Structure 1
Amino acid sequence: MAKTSYFVPLYASVFHLDADGNLLQILSLDEGWANTARKQANAFIVASFFSSYKTSLTFPTVQAIGEDGTTKWKKTYSNSTNGNPVAQPLSNDDLVVFASDSIYYYSNTTGVSRKLSISCKARIRITDNKLFYTLSEVSFVKISLYSLDGKIICNVKRGIQPVGEHSLRLSGLARGACIIRVKSNGQGVMQQRVVIY
């Protein structure tokens, strides 16, 4: 997962361009702040802090806007989260996290490239609070847990490990949702959202 954070000012618009850079459509988002926008298949996923004109409150909102400008779905959260991050998983395994006045968009598109020193047979597997991962060469491995708003919780494991499949029990850690990051030789980061129970 790659984490990106944007801030786009009030009365923002999403510009939809074709492969040649020609403007196809402008989707106006003047009802609130549009903080992140991502193109997915035939829709834009827009995460914003929606501002109410009737009150001075802002509400975390995620919506899917079709290429024709229509809203496919919209989810608005109450502002009574007491400052705790609010996470909205999307159907393609992307994740939007609202944290105080920032929005983070975790995209599941960053995987393992051929030149990196760590690879997975498929993805990081987590079953019964156990993490499985595969190394393609002897590597210095660092495994860390992060909160959904990107703050480090703890380093779970560090050290040199041989080629092959490895596993790590996650028992004894605090329950809840988090991001687990596996890093090999300072590169080849793999991340996955997990729920520890």
Structure 2
Amino acid sequence: MATTKAPDSGRRSDRSRRAIHDAALALVGELGYQKTTIEGIAARAGVGKQTIYRWWPSKAAVLLEAFVDLNERAAEAVGDLARAIPDTGDLVADLKLVLRATVDELVDPTYDIPTRALTAEGVVDAQLGAQYVDRLLRPALQLYVDRLRSAQEAGQVRPDVDPETALELFTGPLTHRWLLRTAPLTHAYADSVVDYAVHGLAPR
């Protein structure tokens, strides 16, 4: 007598989560964060809205997890660059490489739109803001800390420099220009930020 294999509920849940993630990112890109709703995400993903509410408390939480998943997949694609800033011995070249990659990401609507939505929502929702920092920002900023410490050990950065403060000399200007749209975000601007910042960090 033939036996029927029971459905894999775990695999089904994974497919549903991925569908919900993709739907949330797509709708935020098409409609904007304010017009995106749980009902819309559920309809696009082909699930009931009760399924979403079973896993997430809000659309912001859905978008955060979807964006974390998107970044993890992107990190797998780029490989080593996502795990560490290259250490070729040339601090300026290494930092320009990673800041140029950051510019490319920030001007890509795939990342720009959800990042803006989560940044804005994190201002009014402290819990979401803390999760956004812990899950996305802090790991990325740690790469700068590690690279600057390596440069200190090589004598390329003054020993009294605090890497956790110094990293903001690179990331802060890009974030400010991107967030406020004060001027175009370009590779040339990223290169200038590195040149100005490293000049101030170099041994006297």
Q: TM-score range by the shorter chain?
A: under 0.3
TM-score by length of 1: 0.27
Higher RCO, 1 or 2 (CA under 8 Å, sep at least 6)? 2
Larger Rg: 2
TM-score by length of 2: 0.26
Bigger fraction of residues in strand: 1
